Chain A
Amino acid sequence: MAQVTLNRLTKHFDDTPVVKGISLTVADGEFFSLLGPSGCGKTTILRMIAGFIFPTSGTVLFDDQDVTHVPANRRNTGMVFQNYALFPHMTVFENVAFGLRTRKVAATETRDRVARALDLVGLAGLEQRPVPQLSGGQQQRVALARAVVIEPDLLLLDEPLSNLDAKLREETRDQIRELQTKLGITAIYVTHDQEEALAVSDRIAVMEEGVCRQLDRPDAIYRRPANRFVAAFMGNMNLWEGVLETDGGRTVFRHASGLAVDLSAPRSSPAPTDDDAPAEDVAPSFDSDGPVYLALHPQAARLTEDEAEGTVGGVVTTRRFKGATVEFTVDAGGVAIQIVENAEGPMAARQPGDAVRVRIPGDQAIILRD
C-alpha cells in the first residue's frame, strides 16, 4: 500500500510538452482517476508512475521514496492495460503466475495465489485455458488477476474498460472498485469516460492539454465545475457567455440575446462542503468585469407554462425520449437551452414547435470566469 506523490511532473516528447507540471498526492488506499479527452496527458502520467517512461522534470514519490528513475520492474505496481497485454503464448495460469515467477515465489505458493486471484475475479477453473480462447470480458479479468496477484503497492488501470461492450463495462467497473476496496490497494485509473470516473472514484483529476483543470471529489466536480472545460466535459451543461450587471443590489447575468438570470436569490442547498474543496467554488465571486460564463445543469432548468418572473419564452426544437427522462432543446430568442424533464412530468409531452416557457433557477447557476 502506498501514497503516491507527483511533484511538478513534466514530460516533453521531442520538445512538445505533453504533461506540464502536475503536482498531486494520491492517498493510501484511495481510488484516484485521471480523466480527460485523448491527448490530455493522462496516460503519459500513468506511464511515468509505472516507470515505462521517465519525466523530463519533476519527481514521483511512493510514500517517501523517490522512484522517479527506478526501472519499471522494481516498482511493485500492478498494471491493467487498455488491450490487456496478455501474453498470447501462455495459458491463463502462466499469465497470472508470471509476476510470481519473476519474484521467485515457490511453486506451491504460486499455485495457491493464482487460484485465489482467479477466484477473486470469478475465473476459477480456467487455469489451463489458452488466452486467445477467452472472451474479451474474461481476458480483462485475467489481466486484473495478473495485476493483483503480486500484491502490488499500487494498481494502475489504463482505460481497462474501453474494449468491452456497454453492459459488460458497467459490471466490470463495479467489480474493479469492489476488488480495490476489498484489497485496500491504492488505485490510479485513467479514463476518458466521465460517467465511469464519477461512478468509481474517490477523487478525480480532470486533465486538459497536460494541465490539471480541477481536482476534487466526483460530486463536487459534477455540481461545481471550476471552469468551462470541466463544465463541458462533465456532461451536457448549458454554457452561455455573457456579462454580470449589478442592478439595485441584485446581480444579474445577461446574455447577448437579452436572456437574463438573476443570481441574487439565496442559494439553495449548496453541495456539502468538504475540507479540501476550494472555498471560491462554493459561491461565485461577482466582483470583476469582462465576460463571464454561466453553467447550468440541464436537470436544473424546467419547462413551465406560467409566465412568472425568472422564466423565458421559447420554442421546442428537439425532443429525445430517454425512458425515465426526456431531453429537450428549447430555442429562447437565439439561446439554445438544454433541459431534462422527468418523463412522468406534466411538460414531458411537449413536441418540437410548441411554444413553452423555461424557468432558469439563478440559485443553481454557476458563474465561471475561465
Chain B
Amino acid sequence: MNLYALLRQPRTLVFVPLGFILLGYIVYPAALVLWESLFREGQFGFGNYGEFFDPDSPSYMEGLFNSVMVSVGSVLLSALIGVPLALIFTHYEFPGRSVFSALAILPIVLPPLVGVLAFLFLYSESGMVPRLIQAALGLERPPFSLNGVWAVLLVHGYTMYVFFYLFTSAALRGIDPAVMEAARNLGASSWFSFRTVTLPLLTPAMVGATLLVFMTSMNSFSAPFIFAGGFRFLSLNIYTSKLNGDMAMAVTQTVVLSAFSIAFLFWMRRYEGRRQYAMSTKGTANVRREIRGRWARLLAGAAGIAMVVVLLLPHLTILLLSFVQDGTWTHQILPQVYTSDNYGRLFQDPTFWEPIRNSLNMAVVSTAADVAIGVTAAYLVVKGTFRGRKLLDALVMVPWALPGTVVAINLIVAFSQGTPFSFGQVLVGSFWLLPIAYFVRHLPIVFRASSAAFRQLDDSLEEAARNLGAGWFYAFRRVTLPLIGPGVLAGTLLAFVTALGEFVASILLYVYDNRPIAMEILSHLRQFNIGSAAAYAVLLLLLVSVVLLGSNYLSRGSAQRSLS
C-alpha cells in the first residue's frame, strides 16, 4: 500500500493525529524527564537518585515521607467525615435532610487556592475564628491556630471528604435494600449486617475514593504552599527546586513522585478490579428510617445546621473579604472598612478583566481539545476492536496519576527547545504551554466520563436505528448523541471548571500574557490586597458554581457518576 492510500484510510485519519498528540504531549515529555533525571552535571548515572535517597541529607526523603503520611492522614480524615455523612443521609429521614445532603458537596465548588485562602483567613494564627473566640472568652492568646501539617490535613479533609461522600452515597443507592433485609431476616443485628454485608459491598466505592483522595493529596500543592512553613512536601519541593534553578533535582523528584503515584494507581486498580459486584435488580424500594422523638429530631437538625455553617464558612469568608478595602485590615479581628470598589473596578479598570479573560480563553481551548481527543479515544477504547486498545486506555489515563507539578515540569523540560511536536517552536515562555498543561491534566476527566457513557450505550440501539432506515449520521444525531451527550457534557464541564481555577501547573508555567485568575489572586495576596484577591476568588467561585449547576441540571446527576 502506498502512502497516499494509507492516508486515505479513515482509520489512519483518526489514529495519526491522536497518536501525534498523545505521543507529543504525554509520552515524550515524561520520557524526556526520566532521561534527564539520569544526568548529573552531564554525567550519565544515578547520581540524582543517590542524592534523593542519601541518608545523610534526608531533606528530599523527608518530603516524600511527609507527602505520604499527609496523604494517608487525608484519606482517613476524609473517610471519617464522608462515609458517616453518606450513611446518615441515605438511611435516615429528618427535617432538612435533602437540603443538607445537597449542601454536603459544597466544598467541591471551591477551587484549590480559594479554599486554602479561606482557611487561612478563618483559622490561622491571625484568623477570625480563633481570635473571635479569644475576644469572647477574654483569653490572652488565641485558643488554637491552624498551621503546618495539621492545617494541610484539615484543608484536605474539608475539600476531599466529598469524594468519600459522593462515592459512598452512590454505592449505597446501588445496593439492593432486599439484601440488607435478607440479612435481618436471617437473624443479623444491625451492626452484624453492616459489618458483613454493607461494608463489603461498599468496598469498591471506598477503594475508588481512597485512590482519588490519596492521589489528590499526594499532588496537593496549594495547601502546603500556603500552610507548610518549614515542613517539606514532595510536590512543593519540586517547585522550590525549579525556582532555585536546580532542574536536575526537580526532574528527579518529579520521577519519584510520578513513580509513586502510578504505582499506587495500579495497585489500587488491581484491588478494585477483583471486587466488583454486579447487583441484580432491586427487590424493594429503599426506605429511609424516620428519626422520631423530639430530642432526636432537634439534635439531628442542630447537627445539620452546624454542618452547614462549617461548610459554608469558607465561602462566606471569601465573600465578606471581597468587600474589604485593600490595605485596611491589619491587626483587627474583623475587617473594619468595607467598600464595593473591588467589584467597581470590574467596570472601570480594563486590566481587571484580563486574568478572567485569560482563564476563560485557556479553559475553552484546552477543554475543546480534551473533548476532541478524549471522546475519540473513549470511543476507540470502548467500541473499537483493534489491538492496542489497552495501551491507548493507559496512555490517556496516565495524566490522571501525574500531579500537576509533574505535568508542568514535564512540559517545561520537553518544550524548552523546539520539537517536532511543537512544530519547531520553543513553547516555554509562550502563551501556549499553560493551555497545553490544562489539556493534558484534564484529558482523563473527559475520557472517563465519555467511556462510561459509551459503555452504557447498547450497540443494538444504533443497529435498531439503522434497521429502521436511519443513515449513519442520522442515527448518530438522533440516537447515539442524545444518549452519550449528558455524560460527555458532564465530563466536559467538569474539565472546564477545573481549568478555570487551576493553580498548580499555572504557578510553574504562567507568563504575564496568560496569567490566570489563580495567579492574579496570589499576586494580590502577596501585596496584601486582600479585598481584590477575594473579589477575584468570588468571581471564580461564581463561574464555577454556575457551570456546575448548569451541568447538574443538564445531565441530572451524571456529573457525579463521571467522577467515579
Contact A78 B200 (CB under 8 A): no
Q: B181 contacts A72, CB within 8 Å?
A: yes
With known contacts A83-B280, A83-B281, A85-B181, A98–B176 Cβ distance under 8 A: no
Complex Cα spacing A101 to B188, Å: 9
> Which residues of chain B come closer than 8 Å to A75, judged between CB atoms?
185
B-contact 0/1 string along A166-178, CB 8 Å cutoff:
0000000000000
Given contacts A52-B181, A85-B176, A88-B277, contact A99 B186 (CB under 8 A): yes
Contact partners of A52 in chain B: CB under 8 A: 181, 184-185, 284
B136 at the A interface (CB under 8 A): no
Asked if residues B185 and A78 are in contact (CB atoms below 8 Å), the reply is yes
A93 located at the interface, meaning its Cβ lies under 8 Å from any Cβ of chain B in the complex: no
A76 within 8 A of B: yes
| A81-B181 contact in complex given A87-B197, A88-B279, A89-B200, C-beta closer than 8 Å | yes
Contact string against B for A residues 43-76, beta-carbon threshold 8 Å, 1 for contact and 0 otherwise: 0000100111100000000000000000111111
Residue in B187, B278, B280 whose beta carbon sits within 8 Å of that of A102 in the complex: B187
Most buried by A among B192, B277, B280: B280
Bound-complex Cα distance A73 to B277 (A)? 25
If A88-B201, A88-B277, A88-B278 touch, whether A81 touches B182 (CB-CB below 8 Å) is yes
Interface string of B191-202 (1 = CB under 8 A from A): 011001100110
The answer to whether B282 has its CB under 8 Å from any CB of chain A is yes
Are A76 and B187 in contact (CB-based, < 8 A)?
A: yes
A82 pairs with B196, CB closer than 8 A:
no
Task: Decide: B196 and A73 in contact? CB cutoff 8 A.
Answer: no
Range for the number of chain B residues in contact with chain A: 20 to 34
Rounded to whole angstroms, the CA-CA distance of A53 and B285 in the bound complex is 12
Band of interface residues on A: 20 to 34
User: How far does the alpha carbon of A71 sit from the alpha carbon of B193 in the complex, in Å?
Assistant: 14
Considering only CB atoms, which chain B residue lies closest to A146 in the complex?
B186
CA gap between A47 and B197 in the complex, in Å? 20
Give A3-43 as 1s and 0s: 1 = Cβ < 8 Å from B's Cβ atoms.
00000000000000000000000000000000000000000
Closest to B283 in A: A83
B426 at the interface (CB under 8 A from A): no
Q: Which residue of B lies closest to A50 (CB)?
A: B185
Does A74 contact B200, Cβ atoms closer than 8 Å?
no
A103 CB–B CB distance under 8 Å: yes
Residue A84 CB within 8 A of the other chain: yes
Q: Given the known A-B contacts A52-B181, A79-B182, A89-B201, are A84 and B280 also in contact in the complex, defined by CB atoms under 8 Å? A: yes
Q: Does B333 contact A (CB under 8 A)?
A: no
Of the listed residues A73, A79, A132, A156, the one surrounded by the most CB atoms of chain B closer than 10 A to its CB is A73
Q: Closest CB of chain A to B562's CB: distance in Å?
A: 24
Q: In the complex the two chains form, is B179's CB within 8 Å of A87's CB?
A: yes
Task: Select which of A50, A150, A156 is within 8 A of B187 by beta carbon.
Answer: A150
- B547 at interface (Cβ–Cβ under 8 A)? no
A98-B196, A132-B277 given; A85·B201 CB < 8 A: no
B434 → A minimal CB distance (Å):
46
- Closest residue of chain A to B178 (Cβ to Cβ) is A85
Within the complex, what minimum Cβ distance (angstroms) separates A51 from chain B? Answer: 8
Interface centre among B176, B179, B187, B193 (most CB of A within 10 A): B187
Q: Say whether A329 faces chain B, with CB atoms less than 8 Å apart.
A: no
B183 at the interface (CB under 8 A from A): yes
- Bound together, the chains give a CA A156 to CA B182 distance in angstroms of 11
* Bound Cα distance A312, B183 (Å): 61
The 0/1 profile, CB within 8 Å of B marked 1, for residues 267-297 of chain A is: 0000000000000000000000000000000
CB neighbours (8 Å) of A101 from chain B are 196
CB distance from A248 to the nearest CB of B (A): 60
CB contacts (< 8 Å) of A150 on chain B: these are 186-187
B279 in contact with A85 (CB, 8 Å): no
- B277 and A85 within 8 A (CB): no
Q: Which residues of chain B are within 8 angstroms of A99 by Cβ–Cβ distance? A: 186-187
For B186, the chain A residues whose CB sits under 8 A away are 73, 78, 98-99, 102, 146, 150
Those of B197-212 within 8 Å (CB) of chain A: 197, 200-201, 203
Q: State whether the Cβ of A110 lies closer than 8 Å to any Cβ in chain B.
A: no
Which A residue's beta carbon lies closest to that of B193? A73
- Nearest chain A CB to B285's CB is how many angstroms away? 10
B281: A residues at CB distance < 8 A: 83
The answer to whether the Cβ of B189 comes within 8 Å of any Cβ in the partner chain is yes
Tell me if B182 and A132 are in contact (CB < 8 A): no
Shortest Cβ distance from residue A137 to the other chain B in the assembled complex, whole angstroms: 14
Q: Output the least CB separation between A348 and chain B (Å).
A: 41
The distance from the CB of A250 to the nearest CB of chain B, in whole angstroms, is 55
- Contact present for B187 and A74 (CB under 8 Å): yes
Residues of chain B in range 279-334 having any CB-CB distance to chain A below 8 Å: 279-284, 287
Choice from A78, A79, A83, A132 contacting B282 with Cβ under 8 Å: A83
The residue in chain B whose Cβ has the minimal distance to the Cβ of A101 is: B196
A77-B185 contact given A82-B283, A85-B283, A98-B196, CB 8 Å threshold = yes
Which chain A residue shows the least CB distance to B197? A87
Contact between B278 and A132 (Cβ–Cβ < 8 Å)?
Answer: yes
A81:B184 contact, CB within 8 angstroms: no
A128 CB to nearest B CB, Å: 16
B280 → chain A, closest Cβ, in Å?
A: 5
12 contacts between A and B (CB under 8 A): A51-B184, A73-B184, A76-B187, A81-B181, A83-B178, A85-B182, A87-B183, A88-B179, A99-B186, A99-B187, A101-B196, A102-B188
The residues of A with any CB-CB pair to B shorter than 8 Å are 47, 50-53, 71-79, 81-89, 98-99, 101-103, 132, 146-147, 150, 156, 158
Nearest 3 A/B pairs, CB to CB = A99-B186, A85-B178, A102-B187
Extra 17 A-B pairs, beta carbons < 8 Å, given A47-B284, A76-B187, A85-B179: A72-B184, A73-B184, A73-B185, A73-B187, A78-B185, A81-B283, A83-B283, A85-B178, A85-B181, A85-B182, A87-B179, A87-B197, A88-B278, A89-B201, A89-B277, A102-B188, A158-B283
B interface residues, Cβ below 8 angstroms from A? 176, 178-179, 181-189, 192-193, 196-197, 200-201, 203, 275, 277-284, 287
